[in-house]
Structure 1
Amino acid sequence: MSTGTKSAERSRRGRSRRGANRRPGVMWGLAAWATGLLFFLPVVWMVLTSFHSEADAATNPPSVTAPLTLEGYREFFGTSTGTSPWPALANSASAAIGSTALVLVFAIPAAYALSVKPVRKWSDAMFFFLSTKMLPAVAGLLPVYLVAKNTGLLDNIWLMAVLYTAMNLPIAVWMMRSFLAEIPIDILEAAAIDGAGLPTVLRRIVIPLAAPGIAATSLICFIFSWNEMLFARVLTGVRSITAPVFLTGFVTSQGLFLAQVCAAAVVVSLPVLLAGFAAQDKLVQGLSMGAVK
């Protein structure tokens, strides 16, 4: 066989191998797109239904080509009913933002002590943090209600912020520990040699280097706090009602107002979506660090 023939045969075999290696990647890509569309389709349907009238939204099967209207949003914002959602949205924002800030205040020093400057038996401390999440939330509902009632904290939004802080702190400590463990210890030792104290190290070195992890932890804690409904449903009333509890008001004895519920769900979901969009670069970077893969 001539040299030219051997070279052509090797080239043909190389192209064949590259094509065989490319096919699994293409299949996985198509599977990922199909899975993403499968999860995104209900969201698209919810948004589309929110722009339909109640009569069109209740048809079976639902009509895709029905006329679009803002009737559901008008009802949600109380144009005809006089019931405004803004107090509930403000309460949810206060509780979610306040609890997220408190979680970071406690979680960053705790994670620093458990990763960079490990305390004795740090694994036992980490297991203790994790064990607090093993108790079903409903099991602690009655004791929390009795404490809130006896202390006069029922229907108080700051009680919800404290509860959300306690609920999110364990997962925040676990996440922040994995992020802080990625910080090179040489940088911290150099700062200590230069005379930097612990507050300076945390403020000028740890927090800037762990910014992606802090963003990811903050967003997850914010989402958990914003979406929580069990404790809010029992512990809040008129003054401190949150957005998820406000949504249940659209399910009445007269029936389910589907267009209004979809419009309300779209509006309530917007803060989380906007927060995720604003921090998407740091969120992706943070979720790819440490042990959170």
Structure 2
Amino acid sequence: MSRAVTPRRKAITTVLAWIVGFLIFFPILWTIVLSFKSEGDAISAPLNVLTSTWTMESYEAVQERSNYFLHFWNSVVISFGSTIAALVIAIPAAWAMAFVPGKRTKDVLMWMLSTKMMPAVGVLVPIYLLFRDMGLLDTRTGLVIVLTLMNLPIVVWMLYTYFKEIPSEILEAARMDGATLRSEILYVLTPMAVPGIASTLLLNVILAWNEAFWTLNLTAAKAAPLTAFIASYSSPEGLFYAKLSAASTLAIAPILILGWFSQKQLVRGLTFGAVK
């Protein structure tokens, strides 16, 4: 029998959860606060920061100096483009690993995941030279390709986990009814795994949106996303904290809003198949 949760224990757990949540969110909150301060106030003592005048001058300076909407559109195209491309490849691959008998499936999955263990800088030079020779430097197409390949192991692994929770008898019944391989994946498997696919999509979008290493090394101006937009406010003259905070707030706001509105679907997908 499960042990009853007392009001005291529930209150303590709730307080601890709020404290942990606040500590996790505090850096983002402080960045947002600094973005509404002047450069002089941003480097003052924390209490002085909170009591100083709030202003929009940092946002105005950022808009005058940079084309925010160009960087924003580049981030949207790169993150969603690489995610969709990864799903197109990963769904059939995960289906094959989950429902086609094979003794080496776990070995293949571990090998795919092991490719994420190598530091990205280890393959920077060959990828840079390939992109240079193929004309993919500073293009959205090039970044979509590289981010698709970088995040593909995680996407395949997550989808494989979700697909394994679907009874194989359902797919066998579809085959007995004359479903082709394409119909089985599109009309039987995919609708049943929507929560898992949705959570995988959201996590991959977040990973691609926040990717800085490849976007800084493979772009210059035309295809530079919001990560490069933030990095442009770190200069040899020093850090301009208020402007850097304003640029960071503009960069994280879209993905923060997306995560807020999709949190229910994200949690549902991450717990898909966890409760029997």
TM-score higher than 0.5: yes
Counterpart in the other structure of 1:11: none
Query: 1:33 is matched with which residue?
Result: 18
Q: Of the two, which has the highest radius of gyration?
A: 1
Mapped pair 1:52 → 2:37: yes
Change (3 A) 1:112 1:23: same
What whole-Å deviation, never above 9, does each CA across 1:111-145 have from its counterpart, x for those lacking one? 11111233452112112211211211111111111
Q: Which residue of 1 aligns with 2:255?
A: 272
User: Is 1:88 the counterpart of 2:71 in the alignment?
Assistant: yes
How many residue pairs align between the two structures?
Answer: 272
Letter aligned with residue 233 of structure 1? L
| 2:184 is aligned with 1:192 | no
Deviations 1:155-214 (A, max 9, x none): 122111000000110000110011111112222122111111121121112111111111
2:53 corresponds to 1:67:
yes
TM-fit CA distance, 1:85: 1.8
| Superposition deviation, residue 22 in structure 1 | 4.7
State which drifts further: 112-121 or 63-72.
Answer: 112-121
The letter of the residue matching 1:50 is S
Contact kept? 1:178, 1:289, Cα under 8 Å = no
AA aligned to 1:223 is I
Aligned 1:84-123 pairs, distance under 5 A: 84-123=67-106
Q: Does 1:167 align with 2:153?
A: no
Tell me how far apart the structure 2 counterparts of residues 191 and 64 of structure 1 sit (CA, whole Å).
62
Match of 1:154 in 2: 137
Give deviations 1:204-261, integer Å, cap 9, x for gaps: 1211111111111111111111111112111111211121112111122332111111
Structure 1 residue 291: Cα displacement: 6.7
Partner SS state of residue 234, structure 1: helix
Computed over aligned residues only, the root mean square deviation of the Cα atoms, in angstroms, reads 2.0
Contact 1:215–1:279 under 8 Å retained in 2: no
Listed as ranges, the gaps of 5+ residues in structure 1 are 1-16
Give the TM-score normalised by structure 2.
Answer: 0.92
Unaligned runs of 5+ in 2: none
Aligned residue in 1 for 2:223: 240
Deviation at 1:262, TM superposition (A): 1.0
- C-alpha distance in 1, partners of 2:79/2:45? 38
